[in-house]
Amino acid sequence: MPNFAGQITAVNRGTYLEAPMKSLRFILTLLFLGIVSAQADDATEKKIVVVAGKPSHPPRMHEFNAGVQLLSESLKDAPGVDLTIVLNGWPADETVFEGADAVIFYMDGGKKHEVVKEEGRRLKMVDEWAKKGVGLGFMHYGVEILAEDASAEFKRWIGGHYENMHSCNPMWEPNFVTFPDHPIANGVKPFQIKDEWYFNMRFAAGIDGTNAAEVEGLKFTPILVATPSDDVRDGPYVYPKGPYQHIQASKGRAEAMMWAVERPDGGRGFGFTGGHYHDNWGNDDFRKVVLNALLWVAKAEVPASGVDSSVSKDQLDANLDPKNKR
């Protein structure tokens, strides 16, 4: 009788040995591909598009075009970043947005906000970006929209917005002394500076915005927080002059004037209420916290010491919009 025992043993042994070898090769291949993929991701430049609004306000106020050019110059040496600026409002050629990792808007808002024009077409476009994980940032007047136009969208995108007669916009000088453990705050030192710092924002889920929270799928982190004096709450505000009773009733409460969110779609967002006075970009820490935010919202690496840059008087005077003095 033929002896099949050895053959069966050999086949079984061969199958047993070959399977682990194939598995090992497969695992090593996956590890190699993972390393290569990670290196490729690290090497990929992050595309950031910053859109400046059209000229408005007196000279050296709402200098959106000059401001974004100054910020762009400050980030010119940032590794792994491809920064594109758009001047004078929404671009005629929207292909500039293709492949963007983040889009930031520094412009006038309210009923004339560039994002809500064209009967909601632009709003839907930006919402589609957000659903794909594109980072979004809005600065100064750009954080204000009419509640009926885009409140739900702004809460989803960046965690909140300025709402007329709910929020207020006094000229004041908050003292920012403590900062969260967050990349946007990397290297930022205490600073105090006068600006039209909006506060009492309309945040998602009704939070006051002064503490880290997870609401409606958002991971919310306040970045710049300070306490307005009673005199600031009593007004006057820029417009309407107020005062509002609900603002006065919150005397002693801290307020968030910059915040960041991580969205459930994988994207990031931030809001920054300063930026009225152009010359404030000359303050190193005011500038640094925004430069850090531009990188963070695009998922680019923020240096441990923050983005270091310097700005001269000549740079502050460059690219200002031609305006009549008022």
So where are the chain's domains?
44-317
Q: Scanning the structure block, which residue is given the tokens 């954080």?
A: 143
Q: Which pLDDT value is given to residue 19?
A: 37
* Model pLDDT for residues 99-117, shown as the tens digit of each residue: 999 999 999 999 999 999 9
At residue 323, the pLDDT reads 87
Contacts of 47 (CB under 8 A, 6+ apart): 82, 83, 84, 99, 100, 101, 102, 298
Q: Give the CATH class of 44-317.
A: alpha beta
> What's residue 253's pLDDT?
97
Residue 321, classed as helix, strand or coil, is: coil
Residue 13 DSSP code:
H
User: How far, rounded to the nearest angstrom, does the alpha carbon of residue 85 sit from its chain's CA centroid?
Assistant: 15
Residues of the chain with pLDDT under 70: 1-43, 325-326
- pLDDT at site 89: 97
Is the omega angle on the peptide bond into residue 228 within 30 degrees of 0, that is, cis? no
